[in-house]
Amino acid sequence: MCGIAGFFDPRGFNSNEAEKLARRMAYRVVHRGPDDSGVWVDGKSGIALAHQRLSVLDLSPAGHQPMKSPSHRYVIVYNGEIYNHLELREQLGGVAWRGHSDTETLLAAIDAWGVSATLEKCVGMFGFALWNRKTQSLTLGRDRLGEKPLYYGWQGRTFFFGSELKAINAHPEFLGEVDRKALALSLLFSCVPGSFSIYKGIQKLTPGTFIEICDDGDLPEP
């Protein structure tokens, strides 16, 4: 498993400070991926992506994340495994592959087919955050069975995401207000069910779905 985290502020921010914050968030999930770490920040666009890597399919630096697509349109942080990624490579045809990771396969597929069509073809377990440099939008996606966790939500003017709540909690703008409804459900069911999290304004992405964030518009309530 790997760990992903990051934040998006449409107003933009200082890249140096954002990089420090992104690394702090990634360090909170270092246990998920102790082999490598990486951060990608665009202060003008207001996006910061962080990754903790557990090397499985490609042990070389070619599997380093955050990773850019062949066209440089997309940047991704990804956690999981796509079991049929070699089949997808065959379908993609003449791509000049740099390595053997399924992350690279996923990016090339999105570059060629788009997010929705790619996810329909993918068989595996995964959670990812994808930044589209052309449309200035962030897409979060999760596998059909929901094996890989992914939390997200707005806190003020900043949108957060992470494999675990402790990653989001590392950012100083995270409010950390307990959701009383989620707390009641936890006491009733001995877990926090569905798309709820214990924190107000932070949700779990439901299995088999993806969302696109372009600004600070409203997100659906759990």
Active site residues: 2
**6 conformational bin, left if phi > 0, alpha if psi -120 to 50, beta if neither:** left
Pick the closest to residue 103 from 121, 120, 126, 87 (CA basis): 126
Burial environment of residue 171 by CB neighbours within 10 A (0 to 12, 13 to 18, 19 or more): buried
The one-letter code for the residue type at 96 is A
Q: Are 7 and 158 in contact (CB under 8 A)?
A: yes
Concatenating the DSSP letter of every residue in 156-217 gives: TTEEEEESSHHHHTTSTT----B-HHHHHHHHHHSS--TT--SBTT-EEPPTT-EEEE-SSP
CA–CA gap between residue 27 and residue 207 (Å, rounded): 25
